[in-house]
Amino acid sequence: MLIGNHLSASKGYAAMGRAAIALGANTFAFFTRNPRGGKAKEVNPEDVKKLLLLMEEHRFGKLVAHAPYTMNLCAAKEDIRQFSKGMIADDLARMEYTPGNYYNFHPGSHVGQGAECGIELIAEALNAVLTEEQTTTVLLETMAGKGSEVGRSFEELRDILLRVTLKDKMGVCFDTCHVWDAGYDIVNDLDGVLKEFDGIIGLNRLMAVHFNDSMNPCGAHKDRHARIGEGCIGAEALRRVATHPLLAGKPFILETPNDDEGYKREINMIREWAKE
Ligand code: FE
Ligand code: FE
Ligand code: ZN
């Protein structure tokens, strides 16, 4: 079972590796820069080398880096789109210090331009920044459909993927809270939801899972994460997700409101489920 949580990158790469190990994790997520945006810190190759060694020693799975929330490839304003494109290009260049991992981002908010326009703009930006040489796989996150979020349905994600030329560089991150909030009933029909995903996008594109409970009912389009077992999805349904054979081997990232002790407990609980 590959399981971990979001770690702070403020103390560097090796520190994240040590923090993950201390929590019992064997993967983790981190923001490539301050989640609210701003300039990214310079990467220290020595620091990265230490992380890569730790990851090898402790048999880590792929990491799931997260783009800042301020990045919006389908903003209505041209300057925000340009800024966001520069941000993703820079992040992808820095991701090559840790080759072969995942870089996840929220597709964007179309802010009144309509989902179709948003989809076009996102795909256009991806086509401008993806390169044949990159070893990183870029993941579109399934979204709750709050406001004008693009990616609120499997169809919208497919429509982005269809327009991207370098398809091998792309995948999807399945966020349990978001999918539930978007209206996919993973409590009563997980198999049906995965089958639907497979029919529309293809399960071979599902690379990682954001593992969260939700404070709101199915279809609420709210996006408020809850601790595992403390929300509307509940422990039983989430156990079925964590142990589903079609999701085996994918990195599961907790984005639950927790302190370190809480994460340790959740990681441990999910490992126990996987053993049963
Ligand atoms: Fe996210
Ligand atoms: Fe998420
Ligand atoms: Zn969320």
**Ligand 2 centre and the CA of 114: distance in Å?**
23
- Give me the pLDDT at residue 276, please: 80
- Give me the pLDDT at residue 35, please: 76
- Give me the pLDDT at residue 265, please: 98
| Ligand number with the minimum distance to the CA of 146 | 3
Go through the chain and tell me how many residues it has: 276
**Ligand 3 centre and the CA of 44: distance in Å?**
30
**Ligand 2 centre and the CA of 255: distance in Å?**
7
**Ligand 2 centre and the CA of 177: distance in Å?**
8
| Ligand number with the minimum distance to the CA of 252 | 2
Distance CA 62, CA 100 (A): 8
List, as one string, the DSSP characters of 227-272.
-TTSSSS-HHHHHHHHT-GGGTTS-EEE--S--HHHHHHHHHHHHH
- Give me the pLDDT at residue 141, please: 98
Q: pTM for the whole thing? A: 0.97
- Give me the pLDDT at residue 33, please: 87
Ligand 2 is an ion; residues with CB less than 5 A from it: 175, 210
Residues 6 or more apart whose CB falls under 8 angstroms from that of 39 comprise 33
**Ligand 1 centre and the CA of 196: distance in Å?**
22
Identify whether the C-beta of residue 189 lies closer than 8 Å to the C-beta of residue 206: no
3-state secondary structure of 79: helix
Residues 6 or more apart whose CB falls under 8 angstroms from that of 264 comprise 23, 24
**Tens-binned pLDDT, residue by residue, of the chain (276 aa):** 999 999 999 999 999 999 999 999 999 999 988 877 778 888 999 999 999 999 999 999 999 999 999 999 999 999 999 999 999 999 999 999 999 999 999 999 999 999 999 999 999 999 999 999 999 999 999 999 999 999 999 999 999 999 999 999 999 999 999 999 999 999 999 999 999 999 999 999 999 999 999 999 999 999 999 999 999 999 999 999 999 999 999 999 999 999 999 999 999 999 999 998
- The domains of the chain, with CATH numbers, are 3-275 (3.20.20.150)
- Give me the pLDDT at residue 15, please: 98
